[in-house]
Amino acid sequence: MNSSGKKIKSLSFRINAFIWTICATLLLFFGLFFYAFENHQRRSQIEQAKVLLSAVYQQKNEELANEIFASHREAVAFILNEIMTTKGISAVGVYNMDGFLLESVGIRKSASMEKEKRNLLENGPIFEEVRLDSHPYIAYSTVIEVIGERVGYFYIYFDLADLYSASRLRITLILAIFGGMLMILSIVLHRLLAGLVIEPLGHLRNAMDQVMKGNLGEQVHLPLKNEIGAVAEAFNAMSTRLGEQHDRLTRSMQARDSYAAQLEETNRKLAALNADLENIVAERTGELRASYEKLQAEIQERERTDREKRDLEERLARSRKMEALGLLAGGVAHDLNNVLSGIVSYPEMILMDLPLDDPLKPMITTIQRSGQKAAAIVQDLLALARRGVTNMTVLNLNNDVINDYLNSPEFQKLSSYYPAVVIETHLAGDLMNIRGSAVHLKKAVMNLVSNAAEAQPEGGRIIISTENRHVDLPMSGYDHVNEGDYALLRVEDFGSGIAPEDLDRIFEPFYTKKVMGRSGTGLGMSVIWGTVQDHNGYINVESQTGKGTCFELYFPVTREKAEDPQQVFSIENSMGQGEKILVIDDVQEQREIAHTLLKRLGYEVVVMPSGEDAVAYLRDNQVDLLVLDMIMDPGMDGLDTYKQIIKLHPGQQAVIASGYAENERVKEAQRLGAGAYIRKPYTLQKIAMAIRTELTKGKSLK
């Protein structure tokens, strides 16, 4: 009995060991999988925290830099306290350029910043995970600068304790739940196997021991309707027969043969039972294999979803960066145009008064050209902000853009830099017209040809070609392309090409691999992109490293005929006849420039510094024309001012002037009755023609 008990106990131990091994394996596998998933989630949340810290800094960068530059420590402290209101931020502070702490809020930092840390920040912002008193934070440090001038260093700490605590809690909870489920499952399996296998086999073994001791006819009672029950019935039958045979053994030796036959039959049944058990094990193994393959497929699908999420996040970040740069470029362009007005306008009037042999004339001419070049750079910024195309006319790419550029001083200058580069043109004779801005399109062609020449410093070919093309298929880089007829401009070179990793970034502002000092402002490709977008066109770029690059620009065609060129400007034909003009501008220098130009043209001039002052003046006075600035701060802007004026004087004529760009508020003012739009800095010719045209139009309507 002891021997059989030990064997049955050994079988029970093995079954339990097998169950616990499977459960432990599943728990370990699930724990590793969930830990990896939770770790990925935690890293994603940390990346979101980095984006938050960078956004907080970008939002306060310019304001903080101005206050540091002006040494307003109270204002700096106020800004830092504003930043501290952001959830999760535990500390924020500012160092000066010498590394000494100016102001800080929250966790106290060292009174000075190490020189090595400052040197690292020269290469860009730094994110790092740190622990202070065993407390986890993510630290963001960067250089504070505005318009290229560095004024100090900035740091900000984001508390990660809640993130880590939540992650550990989730891991502990999930593992506890799963472990509990496995424990319950193992107990259920143990009880099930004990009731179905171990205990019946124990009873069967005890009965066999009784038979082995000579108690023939011993019976075992198992109320089971399975294979073990069948074995028990077979055993009972065998035991009964053994008893009967034992009784007959003394009477006949033939009983032994009968017993042997019965024993052989029992062995066959046991073999059959063993085969059935093997089939059950094989079936269960197949089910486990299928479950494992399904789990693997789910893991692969999760990884694919994560990759798609990362791709979308990268595209969103790139889009936000382009939008932020566009807003910055537009604002800077507006301010520069106001500053450039005096440099562009006054030299023109001075040159008109100087004799031809005056020694000051070359110097003033140089000032004028410098101002015009600076204004051209501002136009690049406006194109980057997609606020630069203001005058769309019907034109032909061959005649009005390409040939005009090839005959320009800019092209002659480029040819002198690269004498070994040959320009070939293949221009379609029947090229259809487009509606666009010849100035911006010429600038785009100039940038493309310049880049192609720089890609072939030792010499080569540049092919400029045009053709009519019908587009009805998708184009690389665009989710949707409008089907229709397009005028195609292609610029192709056979130079160094563009590396695949750079191809997706060539249109980003200031992204360049060129040598600084000879390749312009770094906005060339961005200007091309903005110009094509403003013309409702598309760009296709193909490039191979070491073989060359091909740019294809598609512009929607128009069936309209090209407009006649404008007549030559004559100041005598644009002189005023004493008409009264009211200039409304919030910038004093702009008012002085407009007053001087208009007085020179023979007009009576009144200037007002705000929309409110202009409306008050016009309640008791009348003027022939307004020169209206669209952006004025504080107070009413140009559109609101014009709405108030036409209530007092319906049909009041006006010319709109702005250093920014034509936008919806400008167009709204024009729909209300305002006339031409001119961009600052305006020249004597521009303002003279705009005013004379508007006054002439008004006389014809009376």
Identify the H or E element spanning 450: helix 438-454
DSSP 347-373: HHHHHHHS-TT-TTHHHHHHHHHHHHH
For the ranges 71-75, 179-183, 258-262, the one whose mean pLDDT is highest: 71-75
CA atoms within 13 A on the CB side of 377: 12
What count of other Cβ atoms lies within 10 Å of the Cβ of residue 476? 9
Cα–Cα distance measured from residue 423 to residue 435, given in angstroms and rounded to the nearest whole number? 26
- Phi and psi at 63, nearest 5°, equal -60, -45
Predicted pLDDT at 645: 93
Predicted pLDDT at 119: 84
Asked whether residue 521 carries a pLDDT value surpassing 50, the answer given is: no
Instruction: State the SS3 of 498-515.
Output: CCHHHHCCCCCCCCCCCC
Among the listed residues 411, 425, 487, the one whose alpha carbon sits nearest the alpha carbon of residue 453 = 411
Cα–Cα distance measured from residue 462 to residue 112, given in angstroms and rounded to the nearest whole number? 56
Predicted pLDDT at 334: 58
Sheet holding 580-584, edge to edge: 604-608, 580-584, 625-629, 654-658, 677-679
DSSP 137-203: EEEEEEEEEETTEEEEEEEEEEE-HHHHHHHHHHHHHHHHHHHHHHHHHHHHHHHHHIIIIIHHHHH
Average pLDDT over residues 112-126: 84
Mean pLDDT, the chain, as a whole number?
78
Cα–Cα distance measured from residue 493 to residue 551, given in angstroms and rounded to the nearest whole number? 9
Pseudo-torsion of CA 447, 449, 451, 455, nearest 10°? 180
Predicted pLDDT at 551: 92
- Do 471 and 484 contact (CB within 8 A), yes or no? yes
- Do 404 and 445 contact (CB within 8 A), yes or no? no
Q: Comparing 157-166, 192-201, 375-384, which segment has the lowest mean pLDDT?
A: 375-384
Interval 378-433: pLDDT, tens = 665 555 554 444 457 889 999 989 998 999 888 998 899 899 999 999 999 889 99
Per-residue tokens: 238 = 């065998």
Which residue pairs from 1-5 have beta carbons closer than 8 angstroms and sit at least 24 positions apart in sequence? 1/206, 1/209, 4/202, 4/205, 4/206, 4/209, 5/202
Percent of the chain scored above 70 by pLDDT? 76
Among the listed residues 431, 631, 448, the one whose alpha carbon sits nearest the alpha carbon of residue 531 = 448
Asked whether residue 584 carries a pLDDT value surpassing 80, the answer given is: yes
CA atoms within 13 A on the CB side of 567: 6
Cα–Cα distance measured from residue 464 to residue 431, given in angstroms and rounded to the nearest whole number? 14
Strands 654-658 and 625-629: parallel
Strands (E), 389-440: 393-395, 421-426, 433-436
Per-residue tokens: 548 = 């060359």
Give ∠ CA 557-561-564 in degrees, rounded to 5. 130
Among the listed residues 661, 641, 653, 662, the one whose alpha carbon sits nearest the alpha carbon of residue 585 = 641
- Split at pLDDT 50, 70, 90, the class of 699 is low
- Split at pLDDT 50, 70, 90, the class of 254 is low
DSSP three-state, residue 574? helix
- Do 570 and 692 contact (CB within 8 A), yes or no? no
DSSP 631-691: --SSS--HHHHHHHHHHHSTT--EEEEESS---HHHHHHHHTT---EEESSPPHHHHHHHH
Cα–Cα distance measured from residue 267 to residue 274, given in angstroms and rounded to the nearest whole number? 10
Predicted pLDDT at 702: 55
Predicted pLDDT at 422: 92
Asked whether residue 568 carries a pLDDT value surpassing 60, the answer given is: no
Cα–Cα distance measured from residue 239 to residue 196, given in angstroms and rounded to the nearest whole number? 22
Cα–Cα distance measured from residue 638 to residue 626, given in angstroms and rounded to the nearest whole number? 11
Residue 179's Cβ-count burial label (10 Å; 0-12, 13-18, 19+) is: middle
Predicted pLDDT at 307: 72
Q: Delineate the domains of the chain, giving CATH numbers in brackets.
A: 2-166 (3.30.450.20), 389-558 (3.30.565.10), 572-701 (3.40.50.2300)
Interval 322-373: pLDDT, tens = 556 555 655 566 566 666 666 666 676 676 667 767 777 677 777 766 666 6
Predicted pLDDT at 387: 46
CA atoms within 13 A on the CB side of 372: 10
- Phi and psi at 334, nearest 5°, equal -60, -45
Chain position carrying tokens 């666009």? 436
Among the listed residues 592, 629, 594, the one whose alpha carbon sits nearest the alpha carbon of residue 610 = 629
For the ranges 48-52, 189-193, 457-461, the one whose mean pLDDT is highest: 457-461
Average pLDDT over residues 474-490: 82
Identify the H or E element spanning 461: strand 460-471
Cα–Cα distance measured from residue 168 to residue 162, given in angstroms and rounded to the nearest whole number? 10
Q: Comparing 165-174, 202-211, 249-258, 485-494, which segment has the lowest mean pLDDT?
A: 249-258
Residue 216's Cβ-count burial label (10 Å; 0-12, 13-18, 19+) is: middle
Is the backbone of residue 183 left (phi > 0), alpha (psi -120 to 50) or beta? alpha
Cα–Cα distance measured from residue 388 to residue 330, given in angstroms and rounded to the nearest whole number? 9
DSSP 239-282: HHHHHHHHHHHTT-THHHHHHHHHHHHHHHHHHHHHHHHHHHHH
Identify the H or E element spanning 382: helix 361-384
Predicted pLDDT at 649: 93
Per-residue tokens: 125 = 């912002």
Asked whether residue 515 carries a pLDDT value surpassing 50, the answer given is: no
Predicted pLDDT at 424: 93
- Do 626 and 672 contact (CB within 8 A), yes or no? no
Predicted pLDDT at 295: 83
Asked whether residue 135 carries a pLDDT value surpassing 70, the answer given is: yes
The 3-state DSSP composition of the chain as helix, strand, coil percent (nearest 5) reads 55, 15, 25
Pick the more confident residue, 469 or 574: 469
Pick the more confident residue, 74 or 348: 74
Cα–Cα distance measured from residue 611 to residue 632, given in angstroms and rounded to the nearest whole number? 8
Interval 289-307: pLDDT, tens = 888 888 888 888 888 777 7
Cα–Cα distance measured from residue 589 to residue 586, given in angstroms and rounded to the nearest whole number? 9
Asked whether residue 155 carries a pLDDT value surpassing 90, the answer given is: no
Interval 485-502: pLDDT, tens = 899 999 999 988 888 777
| Backbone CA torsion sign across 429, 431, 432, 435 | negative
